[in-house]
């Protein structure tokens, strides 16, 4: 008996066939085919969306280029401030007077043995007069016997050294340039300067020509050492940036007048730290004419040599400076100033102790030299000396210390 026969429903019990509410039975779609179609539709939408976004972005960028790709309207600036006008006027007026100096030395080439000039250093300077005299620092030109001077119009001339005052760190060069190219700097004075005044420096820091820096006068009456270790007094301190290459250039006031010669900076790094020093113009105006006329600074002197301060104190000079030697035929010899001597028995016979000149007290040896610098050769001064514990006043006509 077959399975169908064995388990066949009785005809009376077989379930009646009921029609499907959906109609005739249909074949079902495969699930993976549905997924594939869904994936393809999503990819098509993504590609279409990306394309539409790129087109939209391109249109925006094109619009932006059209809007922002044209020159903007210039906003009117208005007038310059008074400070700016002053700065510009000072620079324009003074620029033709400022020069760039290259110190030259002569060397022999070690391979060809040819003698050639090579640069030794650079600095700044300024035109003093229509005779072609150039003022600068002594330390700018001390390393070479010759120098090249470049004017504001970039024309260059060979300069000759006219005179130098190493103790004052000042020197004068001369160039043979047409008068039309020589614009002498305008002179001011330094005796009435005040802390807080505006100060302007023009020079060639780091070889960058004609640079203007501004600041104020920070202090007055400073002291610095020259290349000879002599003290330069009454130096101007400024915070106008002064860097290597500024040396020898002018320091100006707000009227564009020379008030000092930039000569040194105080800086551990060698660059501007806001403390610069300038030789006062009153000293410059006293020294430069002598350098032009005589080639050196004529210093008035008594014609004496003095002990250093330590020895003076050890020999009983509690104040002033003790005379060690009086030069024969000198101003001091004619006035009767006595030197220190050693007796035949070896004892020291103390000489005169100079304690004042024209009632200006002398506490140490440098005071004597500083006071004498205020006078000229030929001036007569009253010299107060302590002799045998008594004060004696002598009239001395100053001679030359050189």
Q: What is the pLDDT of residue 365?
A: 85
> pLDDT category, 162, cuts 50, 70, 90?
very high
Is the Cβ–Cβ distance between 199 and 251 less than 8 Å? yes
pLDDT at 89 over 50: yes
Is the Cβ–Cβ distance between 287 and 234 less than 8 Å? no
Catalytic residue among 103, 124, 169, 226: 169
pLDDT at 20 over 60: no
How far, in Å, CA of 143 to CA of 175, rounded? Answer: 19
How many CB atoms lie under 10 A from the CB of residue 117? 15
Q: What is the pLDDT of residue 12?
A: 47
Q: Rounded mean pLDDT of the chain?
A: 84
| Rounded average pLDDT over 90-110 | 84
Report how far Cα 239 is from the mean position of its chain's Cα atoms: 9
> pLDDT category, 7, cuts 50, 70, 90?
very low
How far, in Å, CA of 102 to CA of 144, rounded? Answer: 9
Question: Cβ neighbours of residue 390 under 8 Å, at least 6 residues apart?
Answer: none
Beta bridge partners of 252: 200, 258
pLDDT at 21 over 60: no
Report how far Cα 376 is from the mean position of its chain's Cα atoms: 34
Report which of residues 370 and 287 the model is more confident about.
287
Dihedral Cα 232, 383, 312, 377, nearest 10 deg: 40
Is the Cβ–Cβ distance between 277 and 265 less than 8 Å? yes
Can you say whether the dihedral through the CA atoms of 279, 283, 288, 290 is positive or negative?
negative
pLDDT tens digits, residue range 234-269? 899 998 888 777 889 999 999 999 999 998 766 555
Report which of residues 371 and 230 the model is more confident about.
371
Q: What is the pLDDT of residue 24?
A: 54
Domain boundaries, the chain: 92-181, 198-294, 300-400
pLDDT tens digits, residue range 145-155? 789 999 999 99
| Rounded average pLDDT over 362-380 | 86
Q: Shortest CA distance to 285 belongs to which of 258, 264, 263?
A: 258
Question: pTM of the predicted model, to two decimals?
Answer: 0.69
Catalytic residue among 139, 226, 253, 352: 139
Catalytic residue among 218, 226, 247, 355: 247
Quote the radius of gyration of the chain (alpha carbons, Å): 46
Active site residue 247: yes
pLDDT at 399 over 70: yes
Active site residue 169: yes
Question: Cβ neighbours of residue 339 under 8 Å, at least 6 residues apart?
Answer: 304, 323, 324, 325, 326, 351, 352
How far, in Å, CA of 257 to CA of 183, rounded? Answer: 13
Whether 198-294 and 92-181 are alike in CATH topology: the answer is yes
Q: What is the pLDDT of residue 272?
A: 53
pLDDT tens digits, residue range 272-325? 566 889 999 999 999 999 999 999 888 888 989 998 888 888 888 888 899 999
Q: What percent of the chain has pLDDT over 90?
A: 43
* Token pair recorded at residue 88: 């510009």
Q: May I ask the CATH class of domain 198-294?
A: mainly beta
How many CB atoms lie under 10 A from the CB of residue 27? 5
- The superfamily (CATH) of domain 300-400 is PDZ domain (2.30.42.10)
Q: What is the pLDDT of residue 308?
A: 87
Fold observed for domain 92-181: Thrombin, subunit H (2.40.10)
| Rounded average pLDDT over 34-40 | 81
> pLDDT category, 178, cuts 50, 70, 90?
very high
What's the maximum distance between 2 C-alpha atoms anywhere in the chain?
174
| Rounded average pLDDT over 91-119 | 77
């Amino acid at each position: 008996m077959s399975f169908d026969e064995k388990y066949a429903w009785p005809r009376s019990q077989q379930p009646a066939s009921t029609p499907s509410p959906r109609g005739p039975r249909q074949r079902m779609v495969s699930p993976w085919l549905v997924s594939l179609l869904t994936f393809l539709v999503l990819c098509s939408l993504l590609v279409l969306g990306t394309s539409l976004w790129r087109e939209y972005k391109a249109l925006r960028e094109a619009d932006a280029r059209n809007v922002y790709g044209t020159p903007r309207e210039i906003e009117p600036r208005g007038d310059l401030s008074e400070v700016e006008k002053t700065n510009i006027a000072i620079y324009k007026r003074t620029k033709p007077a400022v020069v760039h100096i290259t110190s030259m030395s002569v060397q022999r080439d070690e391979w060809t043995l040819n003698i050639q000039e090579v640069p030794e250093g650079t600095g700044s300077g300024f035109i003093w007069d229509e005779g072609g005299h150039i003022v600068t620092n002594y330390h700018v030109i001390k390393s070479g016997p010759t120098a090249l001077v470049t004017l504001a119009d970039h024309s260059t001339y060979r300069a000759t050294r006219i005179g130098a005052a190493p103790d004052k760190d000042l020197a004068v060069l001369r160039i043979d340039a047409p008068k039309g190219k020589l614009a002498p700097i305008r002179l001011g004075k330094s005796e009435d300067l005040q802390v807080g005044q505006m100060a302007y420096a023009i020079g060639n820091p780091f070889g960058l020509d004609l640079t203007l820096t501004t600041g104020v006068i920070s202090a007055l009456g400073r002291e610095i050492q020259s290349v000879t270790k002599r003290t330069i007094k009454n130096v101007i301190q400024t915070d106008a940036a002064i860097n290597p290459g500024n040396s020898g250039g002018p320091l100006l006031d707000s009227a564009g007048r020379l008030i000092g010669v930039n000569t040194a900076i105080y800086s551990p790094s060698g660059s501007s730290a806001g403390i610069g020093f300038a030789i006062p113009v009153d000293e410059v105006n006293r020294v430069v004419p002598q350098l032009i006329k005589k080639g050196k600074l004529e210093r008035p002197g008594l014609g004496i040599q003095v002990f250093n301060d330590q020895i003076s104190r050890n020999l009983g000079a509690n104040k002033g400076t003790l005379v060690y030697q009086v030069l024969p035929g000198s101003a001091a010899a004619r006035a009767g100033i006595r030197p220190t001597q050693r007796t035949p028995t070896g004892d020291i016979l103390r000489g005169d102790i100079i304690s004042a000149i024209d009632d200006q007290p002398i506490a140490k040896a440098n005071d004597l030299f500083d006071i004498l610098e205020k006078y000229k050769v030929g001036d007569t001064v009253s010299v107060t000396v302590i002799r045998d514990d008594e004060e004696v006043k002598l009239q001395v006509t100053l001679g030359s210390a050189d």
